[in-house]
Structure 1
């Protein structure tokens, strides 16, 4: 490893220190930004290939000219290097690598432990006691499956706090979506049986489940329990119907089908998820491609390496294109999953038909994305012309304020670029310390908080849209002037009379501008404004709901959940607590006199 120099990089001196071993290299710019991450079986040979002048691709050479330092990490095997490469690409979001933008973990179905287990949606770390099934390709796929489970096995899906405080069955019991174990409408043994059937269904053991239900039906009929036998019969019919809809003919086990389409510098990768022989749905990804041209094989290799960093690896991968270094990729997957993973791009029979279907779907999604991109580019050109700009905007931010008569004021920031919304840059701001309902003060606060941060100076918008008229625009100009920020065009967007979109007007400085209702530029501005409004009002409603449903006891320092529960239990409710004296409060187990005084002051202080 060498130290960076201000203007040049002595590649010859550096290459003398690079060993002939597997590992990972990071190309660094003058400001220590990671430009590119790569892996190699032989670091010396691979890194040397970048510094041969005209012998390399011109686009690659444009990157190499920015390099001021190269950091290397030696690994034991090429497979370990591939795994480290994928981690570093995701960490640094490098400019010249294929980057998979996917910050959310896949959703699962979670079956908890306990006397009456709960079946529910789960996303995040799988550390709870119980069983997890998935991953599913989307939240919609999980909810659809949960709906089927409710109809089939009537297992509870309610929160534990809700479950433990029921005195009579809820609506789910009345509409036959739950057996109401909360009020002992079903025995623990029978409920465990329904959970067992649920688990079998989620594991894809539908034949075994059907055999079990048939046996139960016959047993109930023999004992003349015909109503119960009819219930088992209905379950069998539903299981078979769902199996026919989901089951992949000839397919068994856990499989991911990955198909890639590439056109006009954009790639679409569709991942079809199959678990236990059941098709759980598919999802499209549009990885960010580097400036340098890449073939499908290379993109497929980069995608798989990053995709399985934080996901469960199935037993088999069916691919539309053979990835570069398939042997190393297979070894990496085996290493990470600690078992043999089959990776093939030469599927036959039914498997080939599924790859073909995923490929067609990926092409359709890519075509739609290209049409959308073309539409956005045309609207950006129209915006440049409509606002008389001498540039095409690269970053646009819009701010909106939402509240209900001054209550729970929330400001939103949405960000748009040449390719549309940049949701990772969205932000919400809780507004405090202003006169309720003062939108000007709220706008002043959010803009001061946003542009007062030094670390965000590198991401100044070209255009700042404000949901409002002359007053809000003046407030924005005042804030940016006080912070000595220039070069940002400020545009106010005022709703038309009767909230008619075609009557919307723009405020630019002291000018009022009206664009034709059919203007592409106006449509783009309205899309950005409406997105900011949606994002703000969603945050406001969440904050308002939280404020209305939280207990006044929650804000008292030192009064945790257990002590709050003990207080409520001893006094029978919040009203009695508000009327209690310090001495009465201090008698409760775990409540010291000092804490009792805090509780008393909360309800009886000035």
Structure 2
């Protein structure tokens, strides 16, 4: 406990009381004087404390500039609209003080005033109604009153009018920020796609399909395809492929099989064809895909290869016949788009390969045991919870899961080996 003299304590209480009664300018002045004095005395740590206190006071008082002496609970609405979007700002004034703000943004389809009234009706279906609502002069106050069933005003002057104007101004700023973010997003997506088309000398590839193979020493080979539309992943169109016709680690043959399966089906079912096919690999992969598309399926679709460096990072883009490296600026949005595509298709292929491997690893242990079929394998895994627990089980434990004695013994012997 830090002992404080009674006189000093009275002074602190007076300062707090004065501050809470609105005398914060006086308190701020005193603190500023103390800060300058501490600074002159080279007590910079204390000076910093005073400076931070002043900053906190200013931040607190900024919120409290809006005060009404009538202590009425009221909501203040302002709105702005542009390019088919509307933003509504609400200021909540409780006990005469502005305590909170809320912003809502949504597309609108009718007249702005009509959609604003619809919004305000829905707003009070889930929010507590104040005693008074203030809206801009463009809104029909009588109609709004019928909707919200409280008094609705069009302030003509003074602090109330300024608040409505401020809410409208805030709504306009928020809307402007949204459009800026949309434009920046388009720079990363659609803009990057269009510039990529220019760099490759083809029409803008608004639909890009990318392929990658995954296997470990030739086991459980799989392939994956992802789709990017307007520079963004279209996850519902992603596809996984188990390699059926290729034995061992043969990347080119695996790529040929998957591309053949994908685009044979696309032609048969009338699915949309890509503007650009991207393969994770170099000249050999490009040649394999091109051969299938042109000579087997009669399709002419631009194909590009993404080559990684020795650190497994996107390095070069290849296209053409013979393939030529297309130099892209490493800090350009089109290069970042290709990185996202390559990372995403690799992630998708690896995830699928892990699923297939884990499934086949469990199957390979039990597949050769007579009397253990698909249903029994699932029942065993469900009963024990994991292969590890099954390996630790005794013959009696396995038999208790519903397996006959002779098969339980066989399972036990196989797992112990």
CA distance in 2, matches of 1:556, 1:448: 31
Measured against aligned partners, the alpha-carbon deviations of 1:10-33 in whole angstroms (never above 9, x if no partner) come to xxxxxxxxxxxxxxxxxxxxxxxx
User: Given the superposition, is the C-alpha separation of residues 593 and 322 from structure 1 closer, same or farther in structure 2, using an over 3 Å criterion?
Assistant: farther
Q: How does 1:150-189 map to 2 (within 5 A)?
A: none
CA distance in 2, matches of 1:499, 1:568: 37
Measured against aligned partners, the alpha-carbon deviations of 1:104-134 in whole angstroms (never above 9, x if no partner) come to xxxxxxxxxxxxxxxxxxxxxxxxxxxxxxx
Q: Which moved more, 1:365-374 or 1:344-353?
A: 344-353
Runs of 5+ consecutive residues of structure 2 not aligned to the other structure: 1-59, 68-74, 367-372
CA contact (8 A) 1:315 1:341 kept: no
**1:580 and 2:395 aligned:** yes
Measured against aligned partners, the alpha-carbon deviations of 1:158-186 in whole angstroms (never above 9, x if no partner) come to xxxxxxxxxxxxxxxxxxxxxxxxxxxxx
CA distance in 2, matches of 1:499, 1:538: 13
Counterpart secondary structure, 1:504: strand
CA distance in 2, matches of 1:360, 1:397: 39
CA distance in 2, matches of 1:380, 1:424: 18
Shift, 1:354, TM fit: 6.1
CA contact (8 A) 2:212 2:349 kept: no
Counterpart in the other structure of 2:82: 262
**1:531 and 2:351 aligned:** no
CA contact (8 A) 1:269 1:362 kept: yes
**1:443 and 2:255 aligned:** yes
Q: Which has the higher helix share?
A: 2
Measured against aligned partners, the alpha-carbon deviations of 1:63-101 in whole angstroms (never above 9, x if no partner) come to xxxxxxxxxxxxxxxxxxxxxxxxxxxxxxxxxxxxxxx
CA contact (8 A) 1:260 1:269 kept: yes
User: Given the superposition, is the C-alpha separation of residues 408 and 599 from structure 1 closer, same or farther in structure 2, using an over 3 Å criterion?
Assistant: farther
Counterpart secondary structure, 1:478: helix
Counterpart in the other structure of 1:82: none
Measured against aligned partners, the alpha-carbon deviations of 1:126-159 in whole angstroms (never above 9, x if no partner) come to xxxxxxxxxxxxxxxxxxxxxxxxxxxxxxxxxx
CA distance in 2, matches of 1:479, 1:320: 66
CA contact (8 A) 1:408 1:540 kept: no
**1:427 and 2:203 aligned:** no
Counterpart in the other structure of 1:509: 321
Q: How does 1:410-559 map to 2 (within 5 A)?
A: 411-417=224-230, 420-424=231-235, 426-433=237-244, 434-435=246-247, 437-451=249-263, 452-454=265-267, 457-481=270-294, 484-496=297-309, 504-515=316-327, 517=329, 523-524=333-334, 526-540=335-349, 542-543=351-352, 552=362, 556-557=374-375
CA contact (8 A) 2:282 2:305 kept: yes
CA distance in 2, matches of 1:259, 1:531: 38
**1:399 and 2:211 aligned:** yes
Measured against aligned partners, the alpha-carbon deviations of 1:444-483 in whole angstroms (never above 9, x if no partner) come to 3443443224576341112212221112112222332466
User: Given the superposition, is the C-alpha separation of residues 546 and 321 from structure 1 closer, same or farther in structure 2, using an over 3 Å criterion?
Assistant: farther
Shift, 1:413, TM fit: 0.9
Counterpart secondary structure, 2:270: helix
CA contact (8 A) 2:210 2:278 kept: yes
**1:373 and 2:186 aligned:** yes
CA distance in 2, matches of 1:323, 1:534: 51
Shift, 1:431, TM fit: 3.3
CA distance in 2, matches of 1:272, 1:436: 63
CA contact (8 A) 1:268 1:365 kept: no
| TM-score in terms of structure 1 length | 0.38
CA contact (8 A) 1:410 1:539 kept: no
Counterpart in the other structure of 1:361: 174
CA contact (8 A) 1:296 1:321 kept: no
CA contact (8 A) 1:440 1:471 kept: yes
CA contact (8 A) 1:403 1:537 kept: no
CA distance in 1, matches of 2:235, 2:127: 32
CA distance in 1, matches of 2:136, 2:216: 54
Counterpart secondary structure, 1:531: helix
CA contact (8 A) 1:467 1:494 kept: yes
CA contact (8 A) 2:209 2:274 kept: yes
Shift, 1:575, TM fit: 1.8
CA contact (8 A) 1:397 1:464 kept: yes
Counterpart secondary structure, 1:494: strand
Counterpart in the other structure of 1:60: none
User: Given the superposition, is the C-alpha separation of residues 495 and 559 from structure 1 closer, same or farther in structure 2, using an over 3 Å criterion?
Assistant: closer
Higher Rg of the two aligned structures = 2
User: Given the superposition, is the C-alpha separation of residues 404 and 560 from structure 1 closer, same or farther in structure 2, using an over 3 Å criterion?
Assistant: closer
| TM-score in terms of structure 2 length | 0.51
User: Given the superposition, is the C-alpha separation of residues 496 and 568 from structure 1 closer, same or farther in structure 2, using an over 3 Å criterion?
Assistant: closer
CA contact (8 A) 2:78 2:167 kept: no
Shift, 1:395, TM fit: 2.4
